[in-house]
Amino acid sequence: MAQNQPIEALIDLMARLPGLGPRSARRAVLQMVRKRETLLSPLAEAMQEVARNVRECGNCGNIATGEICDICASNKRATGEICVVETVGDLWAMERANVFGGRYHVLGGTLSALDGIGPDELRIPRLVERIPAEEVTEVILALNATIDGMTTAHYIADRLDGMVRLTSLAQGVPVGGELDYLDEGTITAALAARKAF
Amino acid sequence: MAQNQPIEALIDLMARLPGLGPRSARRAVLQMVRKRETLLSPLAEAMQEVARNVRECGNCGNIATGEICDICASNKRATGEICVVETVGDLWAMERANVFGGRYHVLGGTLSALDGIGPDELRIPRLVERIPAEEVTEVILALNATIDGMTTAHYIADRLDGMVRLTSLAQGVPVGGELDYLDEGTITAALAARKAF
Ligand SMILES: [Zn+2]
Ligand SMILES: [Zn+2]
């Protein structure tokens, strides 16, 4: 296919995004070229803006524009509760349910002996530090209901044992299910019925 | 959802691409943030490159980096045959089949009384000019097998009547089907069995 070089390069990159294959990447790029002023240029600028200004929150691991994310910086969020999630996507899923008023801690994954991911790779030491520093009284373990998620929850429960009240999302999260795929109602119910871990 | 402003803006733009909704846009943006150096920044640069350098071929309407596209500029393409397609996506589909050695003419859509799209909106005058200018002996009408596509094919056949040999892709293109969704084999067979229009 003797196609245009910059176009080919863009299609190859787009095809690496989750959910897009070569065909949908081609369609997306054609749409961009058709809407250069209203879509392509704004996309390029929005990406550059994110690349320049977005980083990890130094406190919780959420996405941030400054040193600290909007949630950690807000004085409207309860300081005594931390909800522990695996990824930023899971944090967003919790926020969409709009039912948790505390702060978060984003682990960045789960423990995995197979992949060589230990506690230090997961921002767990920082979680332990936050308990006294933010006078935390409850840690809600909102990990995915997968084997790795449960293993990680148990490890964290051991580390924080005696320091703080530990709860986990109620059953209601389907077994094997991932937070990011759940509707707001299920997340709301699971949080309301949370139980001691 | 009190999310990060630049992130929200990028998700909104990504969600406007064909095949992506709000959920897949969020997943794509999270992936970009995770892979800033290898995905986000290269994507931003590739888009800027396309926005700066890619335009319409002044001859055929294909995507081009210079005044004229690679296909029109190539001396390896037969000059006597023009394949008329609706969109650049259809041109790419023909090129993937790798069976046509001539040049293209991209109409940019189909005639549509409803949408007020007439011959002048469709680069049809330029097609008429190309017949003598490039000593064209055959025009292959490779429009989609839709009602608008057929209407447009008949209009072009009337305009070029007596100037040139007119053919169309053989049946083999499913009725109501669009070129961009066809496999290479079907396109190859349809082109090989093309018939006088
Ligand atoms: Zn934070
Ligand atoms: Zn051209």
The CA-based angle B71-A34-A29, given to 5 degrees, is: 75
pLDDT at A2 over 50: no
d(CA B5, CA A151): 34
Q: What is the mean pLDDT of chain A?
A: 89
d(CA A84, CA A143): 7
pLDDT tier, A167 (very low <50, low <70, confident <90, very high otherwise):
very high
Which of A7, A8, A43, A47 to probe by mutation at the B interface, max B CB count within 10 Å? A47
For every residue of B108-135, DSSP letters joined together read SS--BTTTTB-GGGGTHHHHHHHHHHTT
A75 contacts on B by Cβ (under 8 Å): none
Ligand nearest to the CA of B64: 2
Asked if residue A31 lies in contact with residue B32, where contact means CB atoms within 8 angstroms, the answer is: no
The predicted pLDDT at position A41 comes to 96
d(CA A115, CA B1): 33
Q: Which spans in chain B are helix H? A: 5-14, 22-34, 41-53, 70-73, 88-97, 124-133, 147-160, 184-192
The predicted pLDDT at position A196 comes to 65
The predicted pLDDT at position B144 comes to 86
Calculate the dihedral angle through the C-alpha atoms of A107, A108, A112, A114, rounding to the nearest 10 degrees. Answer: -160
Residue A169 identity (one-letter amino acid): L
The predicted pLDDT at position B76 comes to 93
The predicted pLDDT at position A91 comes to 92
The predicted pLDDT at position A172 comes to 64
pLDDT in tens, A101-144: 999 999 999 999 888 888 888 999 999 999 999 999 999 999 98
B98 contacts on A by Cβ (under 8 Å): 1
The predicted pLDDT at position B179 comes to 73
The predicted pLDDT at position A1 comes to 44
The predicted pLDDT at position A171 comes to 60
d(CA B152, CA A52): 48
Collect all residues with Cβ–Cβ distance below 8 Å to B182 and sequence separation of at least 6: B93, B173, B174
Collect all residues with Cβ–Cβ distance below 8 Å to B162 and sequence separation of at least 6: none
pLDDT in tens, A30-83: 999 989 999 999 999 999 999 999 999 999 999 999 899 999 999 999 989 999
The predicted pLDDT at position B113 comes to 84
The predicted pLDDT at position A19 comes to 87
User: Please, what is the end-to-end C-alpha distance for chain A in angstroms?
Assistant: 58
Q: Which domains does chain B have, with CATH numbers?
A: 2-46 (1.10.8), 63-168 (3.40.1360.10)
Ligand nearest to the CA of B104: 2
pLDDT in tens, B68-104: 999 999 999 998 999 999 999 999 988 888 889 999 9
Both tokens assigned to B162 = 């007596």
Collect all residues with Cβ–Cβ distance below 8 Å to A117 and sequence separation of at least 6: A109, A110, A111
Which residue has tokens 């997306």? Answer: A28
Q: Which of residues 74-103 of B touch A (CB under 8 A)?
A: 74, 87-89, 92, 95-96, 98
pLDDT tier, A146 (very low <50, low <70, confident <90, very high otherwise):
confident
The predicted pLDDT at position A144 comes to 86
From edge to edge, which strands make up the β-sheet containing A81-85? A103-106, A81-85, A138-141, A165-168, A195-196
Whether A39 and B13 lie within 8 Å, measured CB to CB: yes
C-alpha count within 13 angstroms, C-beta hemisphere, residue A73: 14
d(CA B79, CA B149): 25
Of B170 and A23, the structure prediction assigns the larger pLDDT to A23
pLDDT at A183 over 90: no
- Cα distances from A117 to residues A11, A42, A63, A88, B21, in angstroms, run 33, 38, 21, 18, 32
CA-closest candidate to residue A94, choices A76, A106, A110, A108? A106
- pLDDT under 50: residue ranges of chain B: 1-2
The predicted pLDDT at position A191 comes to 76
d(CA A96, CA A88): 12
Whether B4 and A54 lie within 8 Å, measured CB to CB: yes
Whether A40 and B47 lie within 8 Å, measured CB to CB: yes
d(CA A50, CA A44): 10
Which of A182-192 are b and which e, b meaning 16 or more Cβ less than 10 Å from the residue's Cβ? beeebbbbbbe
pLDDT at A3 over 70: no
3-state secondary structure of B153: helix
Kindly provide the ipTM of the predicted complex, given to two decimals. 0.78
